[in-house]
């Protein structure tokens, strides 16, 4: 009797094996590229969206990309691009570009749904070519993100507030330029 139950149990397990394997292989976590960083915007103005991309990836489905996806419009009136920088199995870095409004499918990225990627060490900026051995600059990157959020809020504000809104926007633009120059300086020295 015990042997009969054992045989039936093994047959049931073997019968469900293809279903379990198919479910695992259909997951978007088996791609060949590991994400290092994600930037959203234009060459002139862009923000690091790696953490937001992780949140989206954990939903483990395709999504349409745009300003509302990332909660920021880094360069109003301009067409934006999502750039995902990744390392392939041979150690070479590669950039994946997605135009605003396009669909992002994470199936080519390893650990997409798990979000086990993008953990620092990227100094490549917008153009890529990251110096992976260099120092990450999370505080400077975060400062730019906050400045761009303030910029977006000021641009959305009604009225000019006696010229103070416009002056504040100019000062924020100057601050963004200075922080970017500081990052660039640190990356080259």
Within-domain flag for 44: yes
- Does 73 map to a domain? yes
Would the pLDDT of 136 be above 80? no
Please determine, for residue 133, whether its predicted confidence score (pLDDT) is greater than 50.
Answer: no
Cα 153 vs. chain centroid, distance in angstroms?
A: 22
Same domain, 142 and 129: no
In a domain, 120, yes or no: yes
Confidence of residue 81 (pLDDT cuts 50, 70, 90): very high
Quote the pLDDT of residue 140. Answer: 77
Q: Tell me the mean pLDDT in the region 81-99.
A: 86
Q: Give the pLDDT of residue 40.
A: 92
| b/e per residue 75-86 (b: at least 16 CB within 10 A) | beeeebbbbbbb
pLDDT at 147: 83
Statement to judge: residues 122 and 144 lie in one domain = no
Asked if 122 and 143 sit in the same domain, the reply is no
CA dist 136 and 52 (Å) reads 18
Do 33 and 87 lie in one domain? The reply is yes
Distance in angstroms (rounded) separating the CA atoms of residues 37 and 122: 7
| Average pLDDT estimate for 13-19 | 54
Q: Do residues 39 and 48 make contact, with C-beta atoms less than 8 angstroms apart?
A: yes
Domain count, the chain: 2
Sheet holding 46-48, edge to edge: 46-48, 34-41, 81-87, 93-99
- Highest mean pLDDT out of 50-54, 60-64, 125-129, 146-150: 50-54
Query: What average pLDDT does the structure give for the chain?
Result: 77
63 closest CA partner among 40, 47, 79:
40
Domain-embedded: residue 5: no
For residue 79, is it within any domain?
yes
Q: What domain range is 145 assigned to?
A: 138-188
Evaluate if residue 114 carries a pLDDT over 60.
yes
In a domain, 70, yes or no: yes
Exposed e or buried b for every residue in 120-143, given b needs 16+ CB within 10 A? eebbbbbeeebeeeeeebeeebeb
On whether the pTM is more than 0.85, the answer is no
DSSP-derived secondary structure letter, 90: T
Query: Regarding predicted confidence, which is higher, 16 or 20?
Result: 16
Residue 150 forms part of a structural domain: yes
Alpha-carbon span 110 to 133, nearest angstrom: 21
């Amino acid at each position: 009797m015990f042997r009969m139950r054992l045989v039936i149990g093994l047959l049931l397990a073997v019968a469900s094996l293809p279903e379990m394997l198919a479910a695992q292989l259909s997951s978007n976590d088996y791609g060949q590229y590991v994400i290092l960083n994600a930037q959203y915007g234009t060459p002139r103005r862009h923000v690091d969206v790696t953490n937001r991309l992780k949140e989206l990836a954990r939903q483990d489905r395709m999504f349409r990309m745009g300003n509302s996806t990332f909660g920021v419009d880094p360069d109003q009136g301009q067409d934006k691009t999502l750039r995902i920088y990744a390392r392939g199995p041979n150690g070479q870095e590669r950039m994946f570009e997605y135009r605003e409004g396009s669909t992002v499918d994470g199936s080519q990225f390893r650990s997409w749904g798990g979000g086990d990627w993008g953990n620092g060490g990227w100094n490549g900026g917008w153009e890529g070519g990251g110096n992976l051995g260099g120092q990450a600059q999370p505080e400077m990157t975060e400062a730019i993100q906050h400045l761009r959020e303030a910029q977006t809020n000021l641009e959305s504000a009604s009225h000019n507030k006696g010229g103070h809104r416009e002056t504040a926007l100019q000062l924020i633009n100057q601050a963004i330029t200075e922080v970017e120059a500081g990052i660039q300086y640190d990356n080259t020295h």
